[in-house]
Amino acid sequence: MPRMVVDKSGVDALMERASSALAQGDYFETAGLARRALDQARRDDDFERMARVCLPLQEARRLIREQALDAGRVVPVSALPSGRVRLEPGCYDVHPPAVGITANSLRAMLDRRRVPAMVVAREPATREGRWPVVLVGSGQFMPVVARAKVAPPPDGAATPAWMLAAHEALGDAAIAQVRPEWPADHRVDDLLERLEGLPDHEKLMQALATACREAARLESRSPPRRRTPLDDPYGF
């Protein structure tokens, strides 16, 4: 099916505002505007613009993550905090009985309050003593899930360094789920779904930008996706 010709002014206007916010050091505003531009460009099938939006979005999220790590604090979370709880900058270790989807709600709350944070959800330790970390993203038919089993911290208490390593392993696992032989426009959507569950993973964002550039070279859209995830994002 031929690609539609659309008015791109909305995406460009959002990115002008995002660039201004980034120059002023307002990283949350940059990330919010860039994500809106990314979603709008996807609705327009404008993969070239999507690729260009990825870089400022990645930069804003990277700077927020660095502020979280610089705080040197790990906050354990076993349930979604109430609206009255004070949230501090740092790393948020979401653990049972909370589940993977809790991390998304917590991250959205932190973003709304403009609190620099890196959020990672983990599940009960495996029989082998590994700690599974998990992300949940939206899906075509049901939520998609990615997991990575990592070694626990030496004394059993998560540190910022451990959180960053777990975060990187989880993003790498999400990228590995998206096969390079799939059509480029399908991979764009697959990566977007996973990005919802880990929006500050740089390699995941870079993989999305690469897929967008490949999709921009397609002469027409690929047939609809027919892949369904088999994992349960609400369980362990």
Please write the tens of the pLDDT for every residue from 90-136: 999 999 999 999 999 999 999 999 999 999 999 999 999 999 999 99
Per DSSP, what are the bridge partners of residue 149? 132
Higher pLDDT, 203 or 2: 203
Q: Number of folded domains in the chain?
A: 1
Q: Is residue 204 part of a domain?
A: yes
Q: Of 39, 49, 109, whose CA–CA distance to 79 is shortest?
A: 109
Q: Is residue 161 part of a domain?
A: yes
Identify whether the C-beta of residue 37 lies closer than 8 Å to the C-beta of residue 11: yes
- The CA R_g of the chain, rounded to the nearest whole Å, is 18
Q: Is residue 232 part of a domain?
A: no
Count CB-CB contacts under 10 A for residue 78. 11
Q: Is residue 1 part of a domain?
A: no
Cα–Cα distances (Å) from 161 to 18, 65, 134, 145, 223, in that order, read 30, 12, 18, 24, 43
Q: Is residue 118 part of a domain?
A: yes
Q: Is residue 174 part of a domain?
A: yes
Q: Is residue 231 part of a domain?
A: no
Higher pLDDT, 145 or 220: 145
In terms of residue numbers, what domain contains 212?
9-216
Give the confidence band of 83 by pLDDT, cuts at 50, 70, 90: confident
Q: How far is 167 from 118, CA to CA, in rounded Å?
A: 8
Question: pTM for the full model?
Answer: 0.89
pLDDT reported for residue 221: 76
pLDDT reported for residue 67: 98
Q: Dihedral sign for Cα 103, 120, 133, 75, please.
A: negative
Q: Is residue 235 part of a domain?
A: no
pLDDT reported for residue 138: 85
Give the confidence band of 227 by pLDDT, cuts at 50, 70, 90: low
